[in-house]
Structure 1
Amino acid sequence: MKFNFLYLIFLICSLGFAQNKGKVAGLITDADVNNEAMPFVNVMIKGTTNGNATDMDGKYELSVNAGNHILVVSYVGYEPVEIPFAVQPNETTIVNTSISSGSVKLEDIIIQGRVSRAKESALLMDQKNAIEMKQSIGAQELTRKGVSDVATAVTKTTGITKQEGSGTIYVRGLGDRYNATTLNGLPVPSNNPEQKNINLDIFSTDLVEYISIDKVYGSNLYGDFAGGNVDIISKDYQGKGFIKVEMGGSGNSNAISEKDNFKLQGGFNSSGFVSRSIPNDPLNTYNFQTLSLEKKTPFAGNFGISAGDNYSIGENGKLTLFGTASFTNDYASKNEGSAASGINENATGAPGQDGLYGRKFDNYTSFSYNTKATAMANVGYKINTDHKIKFNSIFVNSSSQSTDNYSGRIVDLADDGNGLIRRSTFIQNKLFINQLLGEHRFSDRTRFNWGVSYDKVNGEMPDRTTNTFNEGANGFTINSQSAPNNNRYFQSLEETELAANATVDYKFAKTEDGLFNGKLTVGYNGRFKKRDFEATQFNVKTDISYLGTIVDPNNLDLFYNQQNFNNGFFKVSTFRGGSEVASSLNPQTYAGDQNINGVFANIEYQFGPKLTAVLGLRGENSVQNVSWNTQLDPEGDANKLEKNAFLPSLTARYAINDKQNFRFGVSKTYTLPQFKERALFVYEDITEVHVGNPFLYSSDNYNLDLKWEMFPENEELISVAAFGKYIQNPINEVTIASSTNDISYINTGNTGYAAGVELEYRKLLFKSGSTDANKLTAGLNASYMFTEQKLDSEKVKSETNYQVDFTHSKGQFTGASPLLLNADLTFVKEFNENKSSLSTTLAYTYFSDRVYSIGTSNRGDLVDQAVGTLDLIVKSKLNSKLGLDLGIKNILNPTINRVQENSAGDVNVLSYTKGLNIGLGVNYQF
């Protein structure tokens, strides 16, 4: 009876206690991001341990005793909010609120909070809640996939590939001229005279917090947009003081296998910092640097250090400092190669048949050494809870030294296939970026953001050498039938750009719960670019009496020296003439200036709990001036291109439910030609020549996007997108009839279009425990695209000085791969007892055949054939401070092929393998 009595008392007390219970529930939103739902926010009853985190949809629910309480809402990097509320027995009290980072308390800012903003889960939530259609890839994903540069990073997202051998990317099949690059929302200049955008592989991912890719146009972006805008968000430190050191080594299988033959031109140091210029009196004396090759040991390394700290200033102020510096190098080799140019329709490929091949090299090899030195400093100052300014400064010095050997047939020079052309090239690019950014909150309705930048690029190609030989029974002789066959080439580019952004946000239509349904944004973008480019080529022509002299291609200093110059073995001249011509040392030049001013207005409005839309209008004026004085036009000339554009855009998001969105976007944009595309200047490679077209003009683009996406669980995504682009007067690279496959830039027809479908799937396959420490995840994204444009020879002839006869009446866009594929599988295991962990990722990338250049004069298109690459990345933490990394890249080592299409069968014009890259690294954080 005693037991039953006690049990009865316990039951009665429990029932009474339950009757005094109630619930508090609600939604937490982010005031900084359109009041979108925030996951992982801490919600707690003040003075108790009763708390939880919001779910993926920003919702929470807590069971509490009836009575008065205070709800504490906090998130790292955001201001905590305390909200009094009352709960009645057996009832639920709804408490919704928004939190903001604009008035964050100093003690709440810790490094873990900043890192979480770059997590894949956090970026997925940003993607889910954003009105616009965008994709982002953060530091966490870049690390586990072993990505070391931004160019490779963006290819891990849907619909983006990188051009082989460069940092140029293609977004939805549209190449360099159709895309844009920004850093923290401000434009950055190109470091290459042949490109609009900076080579993205110049940016190490050590500098990156995350990368955002906009494929759908919004009026806050510059109107020169058709493919996408890549915005690199630099790391911003907010934590306790630290110092991290990392180092490693790597090797390339091709380079190591050729270690006995791995030779580069002497006279360049291994740091990548070189000072070399045109020697004094180059036409009357021979003071050029050595031509001899030096043997290299092809094992590479890297070293990096980063540090950060913060300091309180007064009651609300805070100063944050972050800096990082690194140096990396690598050796690479292209083996088992071949190259050719000048192939006509129905070519059999047989050497010696004039008109079939201008040049056919059955043996092509390339040895290269690359360096990258990077330094970044960030200084942030929070004046008070409503005003912040930040200064970013980045310096990058990149260099590439290569020796390329082409052996085979050279029409009219080595028709028997006994020719050899050697080109040694050193390229150094220095980029200096300076940005000042400000954020100001004047009220809960009004914000003002601004940014200014001053950037400078110096690109140098000092003393590129080209030498041509014939191989006979007794050895090699110099082939100098044409003066440019042997030359030394000096090229220099300087570009400066000033840019400014300013936006004002005003929220309106306030609701009963203190949120706003509407926001008006007005703003201005401006960029002012100036480029100066000059090049001088010294042609070294051997006297006919010495053309039979046997020389050593690896030690040409024995022939090209001051004594032989004095004895008349050879002469030096430029395209303007020799020393007898007063203007002979005047370089070939082109200069360009471009001013773009744009004003815009966006109206964002939430029509209900499901539908939100943004209407944008932009007016933009662009003026581009180009002048030149080159070997194609020694007298010089100039022209002007002006564009006034009115660019509307509309994007909308319809939330089908808590986990699904449907998105829509439509816009008008345009595409400007670039300086180098309009300047009448020749860029010469061994197998092809690029030449500018002064008659080139802009295209107009009309864009449509549809997307459905679902977020089943944390870190999971299923999405399907469809897009279409209608382009008036599209610009393409076109092969001009010549023996060397000259390529220019042409408005090839009146219209063209692209249409495609993109799929993305991210799945958590396995998870053990209550944390994310032990899991197996998979990712797959794929895109299929169809492009077609009309090719009109008569249009080209009427608009330009070029005589172009297209082989076909229609074709694909250059650079457009119909099928793109990325897949990855990652296993993560954490050993909590000593804070050690292991992460292993297998990543695969594939692109199908894509047109490199459109064929003319019965020549087929030049096509880059499909390539698939496989990488294995292993990262481990031995303890909380020490880590080891292993990377094996390009495991499949596919053959890279470029072919010219031919009715009798495709003919190979370029072929090589790159080899495997194996790297091992160690890092330690103090």
Structure 2
Amino acid sequence: MKKTATIALLFLLLPFFSFAQTGSISGTAINGDTKEPIMFGNVIIDGTGQGVSTDMDGKYKLANLESGTYTIKFSYLGLKDKLVENVEVKAGETTLVNVKMSEDPVVLELGATISAERITNTESAILSMKKESTAVLDGVSAKEISKSGDSDAAAAIKRVSGVTIEGGKYVYVRGLGDRYSKTTLNGADIPGLDPNKNTVQMDLFSTNLLDNILVYKTFTPNLPGDFTGGYIDIVTKNFPSKFTVDASASMSYNTQATFNQNFLTQQKSSTDWLGFDNGTRALPASVGNSTSIPHLQSNTASNFNAEEAQKLVDMTGSFNNTWQQIRQSVPFNHNFSFGIGNRFKFDNQSELGIIGALSYTRNYSFYENGTYGIYQLTGLYDNVNTLTSNLALSDTKGVDDVLWGGMINIAYKIKATHTFNFMVMHNQSATTTTRYLEGTKDDDKDELFQTQSSRFLQRGLTTFQLGGKHTFLKLKNIQVNWKSSYARSTQKDPDLRYFTSRYNADYDIYRIKPSSDRTPSRFYRNMAQGNWSNKIDFTLPLMHWSNHVKEKIKLKTGFAHATKDRSFQENRYSFENQQINYNGDLNAYFDPSNLIATTEGGGYANNGNGVYIENALDSANIYDASQSLYAGYAMIELPLINGLNLVTGARIEYTSVRLKTYSYKVLTAYPELDGKQNILSNLDILPAISLNYAPTKKMKIRAAYSRTLARPSFRELAPFTSFDVEGGYAFVGNPNLERTITDNADLRWEFYPTNKELISVSAFYKNFTNPIERTFNPKALNPELTYRNVDHAFLAGIELELRKNLGFLTPALEDLQIGANFSYIYSQTTIDEQELTAVRAEYPAAPSTREMYGQSPYSLNALLSYKNDSLGFSANVVFNVSGPKISFISTGGTPNTYVQPRPSLNFNISKRIVKGFSIKFAVNNILMSPYRESIKFKGQSYDVSYYEPGMNVSLGIKYNFEKQ
């Protein structure tokens, strides 16, 4: 470990020894006609592609250039390119080159305009978008993602100020997640893949397919109204300005998984490596989706039915015997990506752009040093000093993750005023999780409690998008943007196997104990959802009535329609036994010779002794749900004076949610659900107003108020009971949930010293009416989670962000940059009345409020980055940590479970070896901080879940070609 850190430090410091042998070129670019500085102009060393952009004062600097003579090319949209030849660079000196650029004298066809594709995948581009946005906006670019070494969108987005990740995939913005955050792909709705969550799983998107990820933290009427914490837009790669090819490959070594002969896994299908099962795990055809599994009867029963007996035998024997877990070695983690793009120009002033990209990642993770426990307050809070252990287990877990994605993006532009775009993308993921736990249950020291689970979770998301952007010059330059999108997601959880047993070491006896433990079971879950969304936006720019105001007034309006349709089904089958002993060998226990059988006479053989199946559900857990949304908005961007803009307007949304359940038990309790009735129908007016003031070109002050909403998810509304195998509790939906209304206030100060630097301070406050909170049902006999509306909640916080080049300290640090962001958040929500009654029965002094579920009180990201273009070398150190957050709401007076802080430190270096080729070395999770969920009670900490993940060391190669 120390050797790795030493080598990494040497690589980081190596470029500093080159400073004395290099020089630089700097200066200012201005418009020769207007005398104004040229912001974000291109300054390139001719023939190399190496260059920089000018800042907001028109200044630039080309650093770390070897001694010699150069030709510098200056270019900017609408201005004539300028070449400055024979620029001499001397070691240790800075050559000054100031330029004046004139307007391009090209004569255009009547009605034509000059336009260019905006670069969106760099840090400078993100800062520029933040500054120009009418909303409070943050984001992370493809270039920044490359620095951090993140492989999926979930890992990348946590670098954004105020953003944390739950469970490796669910985004929390400003302490709010699930229903309070919204995720889109290129501005269009996409479905979630988890039936129990009201959000998109961000780990499904490979960073190799992305240009940037934008996070809108305030609402404006042209945005969807169903977000409160943040509106996240995943932006895919756009086509390049010229022919390009990108390819990369890498391998990584995980210190706990790679080549470990004890890696825990399971029997697999031949297509698991592609992210889907080939049918090996499918529910047997003889069982189908039947809920009428015959019951085992005595041969002498008066109503004995030989046909039904044979049916039960056939159904039981049709399941594959794949219970036994496997120990075997696994190879390196590996990643591959390929992208190609080009732009074609035609004589009729039209252009065609196309880009295709494909990526594949497979990662293995493993631990066998984990612990898992369940603790409970027994008695009154004031009378006990310790919690009772209900479960204390050692934990071993192996995970095999596959993620691949592909996309094609095509755009056609006509005379720079009309653009049509078509994009298709597919993302596929599979997670194979194999887990084994053993220890004591309920302080039973005589027997060893053993439990294991084998799961294959398959997810897929396919998206089609068609859109256009149009400027009508003869209609006062009115702009029209439209998009139509269809996305379909599937999640299959085939053949989740769960087996629990006991072992008495004194007598060397195994047994299955259904009276207190879960019966061996197999789960089959399938979910499919389709999202169809259409929207159109109109923008009319108008001259300001005052000649003293330079900016134009913008009137905006638009309409949107979106539908969601989901189907969900869950089946569970328990494997009972009659007079059959278990000896610790799963293959033998489920061998055909141990299963029930029938005789030629039609009765059960051996008096019906053997293993047989039962339907473990009262009726099939099936529901269909749909949501329709109609929306319209009107807003104005009004410059009051130069530098002071008012943005105000309102959005109207009408939503209808319908639910149909096929469970007789549910229909008995909620007869109004029969016939797919409307269970949620709302018409909401969502106002927004903001003031954006720019006292200087480098500074901006924002103040905003808005009203937004949050709707319950389909699963939260569906009132059937499902079982969480890993959590050990039942989950029941609530069809009486109402949507949440939130009032938001924001204040932000931004300062941009250069086009790559930022200092910002933000404050925000959110007030919730009828917030939806996760709670336990105190009336249930067994642990049962549900959701209820509570009266009130609020959240407040501050955010600080800094991006600064260290060249102001000394020229030797010109290539070194630091970045950091910090968030502090405080929240408070009312505890559900029924839950509070149950809590105070054991803890009379318990408060009536708590922080919101999943909300971290703080988060910190930090980056130290070094980049030397002339050497083709870069190095980055990235740090991340977030504060403790509630992961589980406990019953009674038992304190809630919290995920504890887990600092993360990553390091990577990249070096160009020859033109177009570079290599990258990275070390992730250097600190190897343990994952810990724990309960704090009277000064003691009780670990609910604890494990130590491994460190990843990777080496990769990248190829990039751009046609000059």
Shorter-normalised TM range: 0.7 to 0.9
CA contact (8 A) 1:27 1:59 kept: no
Contact 2:469 2:481 in 1 (8 A): yes
The one-character-per-residue Cα deviations of 1:471-523 (angstroms, maximum 9, x if unpaired) are 22326444444795201111000101100110000011257699652000000
Give the secondary structure class of the aligned counterpart of 1:565. Answer: coil
Structure 1 distance, partners of 2:471, 2:844, is: 60
Q: Distance between the aligned counterparts of 1:345 and 1:74, measured in 2?
A: 75
AA in 2 matched with 1:648: P
Letter of the aligned partner of 1:396 in structure 2? Answer: N
Query: Secondary structure at 1:551's aligned position in 2?
Result: coil
Q: Could you tell me how far apart the structure 2 residues matched to 1:924 and 1:345 are? A: 62
CA distance in structure 2 between the partners assigned to 1:181 and 1:811 by the alignment: 27
User: Which deviates more, 239-248 or 616-625?
Assistant: 239-248
Q: For the residues of structure 1 that align with 2:446 and 2:863, how far apart are their CA atoms?
A: 49
Q: Partner residue of 1:64?
A: none
Q: 2:86 aligns to what?
A: none
**For each residue in 1:21-73, what CA deviation from the matched residue of structure 2 results, as whole angstroms up to 9, or x when unmatched?**
x9744447xxxxxxxx9432689xxxxxxxx986415699xxxxxxxxxxxx9
Highest relative contact order (Cα 8 Å, sep 6+), 1 or 2? 2
Q: Deviations over 1:396-450 (max 9, x none)?
A: 11000011112123359x6745111101000001110000010000025310000
Q: Which range moves more in the overlay, 899-908 or 516-525? A: 899-908
2:820 equivalent in structure 1: 780
After TM superposition, give the deviation of residue 540 of structure 1 in Å. Answer: 0.6
Summarize the Cα distance change of 1:797–1:431 in structure 2 as closer, same or farther, 3 Å threshold.
farther
Name 2:681's counterpart in structure 1. Answer: 642
1:266/1:294 contact within 8 Å kept: no
Look up the match of 1:697: 738
- Equivalent pair of 1:668/1:702 in contact (CA under 8 Å): yes
| 1:489 partnered with 2:523 | yes
Q: Partners of 2:461 and 2:110 in 1: how far apart?
A: 35
Aligned counterparts of 1:98 and 1:623: Cα–Cα separation in 2: 56
**How far did 1:671 drift?**
1.0
The answer to whether residue 421 in structure 2 is matched with residue 381 in structure 1 is: no
User: What is the CA-CA distance between 1:261 and the residue it aligns to?
Assistant: 4.1
Q: Does 1:463 align with 2:463?
A: no
Aligned AA for 1:744?
Answer: T
1:224 deviates by: 1.2
CA gap 1:275/1:184 in 2 versus in 1, 3 angstroms = same
Paired letter, 1:575: A
Distance 1:186 1:785, change over 3 A: same
CA distance, structure 2, for counterparts of residue 391 and residue 80 of structure 1 = 31
The answer (yes or no) to whether the contact 1:342–1:741 under 8 Å persists in 2 is no
Instruction: Provide the residue aligned with 1:370 in structure 2.
Output: 401
Matched, 1:320 2:353: yes
Given that 1:484 and 1:541 are in contact with CA atoms closer than 8 Å, whether structure 2 keeps it comes out as: no
SS in 1 for 2:595: helix
- Do the aligned residues in 2 keep the contact of 1:139 with 1:209 (CA within 8 Å)? yes
Q: Which residue of 1 aligns with 2:285?
A: 280
Q: How much does 1:787 deviate?
A: 0.8
Classify 1:699/1:806 alpha carbon distance in 2 versus 1 (closer, same or farther; 3 Å). farther
Give the whole-Å Cα distance in 1 for the aligned partners of 2:929 and 2:379.
28
Residues in 1 aligned to 2:32 and 2:192: alpha-carbon distance in whole angstroms: 58
Q: Which runs of 5+ in 2 are unaligned?
A: 1-30, 45-51, 61-72, 82-99, 288-311, 598-604
Instruction: Indicate conservation of the 8 Å contact 2:788/2:832, yes or no.
Output: no
Partner of 2:772: 731
Query: 1:842-862 CA deviation, whole Å, 9 max, x = no partner?
Result: 111111111223444212122
Relative to 1, partners in 2 of residues 1:777 and 1:196: Cα closer, same or farther, differing over 3 Å? same
Letter in 2 for 1:622: T
**Normalised by the size of structure 1, how large is the TM-score?**
0.83
- Which of 791, 816, 825 is the matching residue for 2:831? 791
Give the structure 2 partner of residue 614 of structure 1: 647
State the alpha-carbon separation in 2 of the partners of residues 633 and 261 from structure 1. 43
Rounded to whole Å, the distance in 2 between the matches of 1:630 and 1:476 is: 37
Which structure 2 residues correspond to residues 675-714 of structure 1 after superposition, within 5 A? Answer: 675-681=714-720, 682-689=722-729, 690-714=731-755
Counterpart in the other structure of 2:128: 125
Quote how far apart the aligned CAs of 1:381 are.
0.8
Q: Which residue of 1 aligns with 2:65?
A: none
Contact 2:820 2:862 in 1 (8 A): yes
User: Partner of 1:922: helix, strand, or coil?
Assistant: strand
Cα offset, 1:558, TM superposition? 5.1
| Residue identity matched to 2:849 | K
Deviation at 1:694, TM superposition (A): 2.2
Alpha-carbon contact 1:27-1:97 (below 8 Å) kept: no
Pairs within 5 Å for 1:882-893: 882-893=917-928
**Take 2:104 and 2:773, find their aligned partners in 1: how far apart are those partners?**
52
Amino acid at match of 2:816: L
- 1:510-589 matches, within 5 Å, as 510=544, 516-543=551-578, 545-546=579-580, 548-553=581-586, 556=587, 559-561=590-592, 564-566=595-597, 568-575=609-616, 587-589=620-622
Judge conservation of contact 1:40–1:56 (CA < 8 Å) in 2: no
Match of 2:940 among 900, 905, 913: 905
Q: Secondary structure at the match of 2:257?
A: helix
SS in 1 for 2:403: strand
Q: Is the 8 A contact 2:169 2:203 kept in 1?
A: yes
- CA distance, structure 1, for counterparts of residue 123 and residue 948 of structure 2: 34
d(CA) in 2 for partners of 1:346, 1:810: 22
8 A contact 1:251–1:331 mirrored in 2: no
State the 1:782 CA deviation. 0.2
CA contact (8 A) 1:266 1:291 kept: no
Alignment correspondent of 2:712:
673
Q: Any residues of structure 2 matched to 1:52-67 within 5 Å, and which?
A: 55-57=55-57
1:823 to 862, 865, 877: 862
Deviation at 1:240, TM superposition (A): 2.6
C-alpha displacement of 1:326: 1.7
Deviations 1:105-150 (A, max 9, x none): 99997xxx76x43211222122123222101211111111112111
- The structural deviation recorded for 1:807 is 4.8
Q: Does 1:752 align with 2:793?
A: yes
Pick from 612, 615, 636 the counterpart of residue 603 of structure 1. Answer: 636
Q: Partner letter of residue 764 of structure 1? A: N
One-letter code of the match for 2:701?
Answer: F
Question: How many angstroms does 1:773 deviate by?
Answer: 11
Maintained 8 Å contact 1:394/1:432? yes
Counterpart-to-counterpart distance in 2, 1:103 and 1:866: 62
1:573 Cα deviation (Å)? 1.3
Give the deviation of 1:768 after TM superposition: 12
Structure 1 residue 569: Cα displacement: 1.6
Bigger shift: 696-705 or 631-640? 631-640
The counterpart of 1:220, out of the listed 222, 227, 239, is 222
Count of aligned residue pairs for this structure pair: 833
Question: Given the superposition, is the C-alpha separation of residues 570 and 442 from structure 1 closer, same or farther in structure 2, using an over 3 Å criterion?
Answer: same
Give yes or no for the alignment of 1:651 onto 2:682: no
CA, structure 1 residues 400+42, in 2 after alignment: closer, same or farther (shift >3 Å)? closer
User: What secondary structure sits across from 2:274 in the alignment?
Assistant: coil
**Identity percentage of aligned residues:** 25
Distance in 2 of aligned mates of 1:570 and 1:629: 30
Write the distance in 1 (CA, Å) between the matches of 2:775 and 2:388.
Answer: 19
TM-score normalised per structure 2: 0.80
Shift of 1:914: 1.7
For the pair 1:39 / 2:40, whether they are aligned, the reply is: yes
- CA distance, structure 2, for counterparts of residue 55 and residue 684 of structure 1: 54
Does the residue aligned with 1:677 lie in a helix, a strand or coil?
helix
Name the Cα RMSD after superposition.
3.6
Q: Which letter maps to 2:285?
A: N
How much has 1:343 moved relative to structure 2?
1.6
User: Quick check: 1:535–1:589 contact (8 Å CA) kept in 2?
Assistant: yes
CA distance in 2, matches of 1:762, 1:769: 17
Aligned partner of 2:532 among 471, 495, 498: 498
The answer as to 2:932 corresponding to 1:894 is no
Counterparts in 2 of 1:47-86, with a 5 A limit? 55-57=55-57, 78=77
The change in CA–CA distance for 1:470 and 1:634 in structure 2 (over 3 A counts) is farther
Instruction: Name the amino acid aligned to 2:450.
Output: L
Structure 1 segments unaligned to the other structure (5+ residues): 1-21, 29-36, 44-51, 61-72, 83-92, 578-585
Relative to structure 1, the CA distance from residue 118 to residue 804 in structure 2 (aligned partners, 3 Å threshold; closer, same or farther) is: farther
| Post-superposition offset of 1:386 | 0.9
Contact 1:693 1:746 in 2 (8 A): yes
Q: 1:162 — aligned with what? A: 165
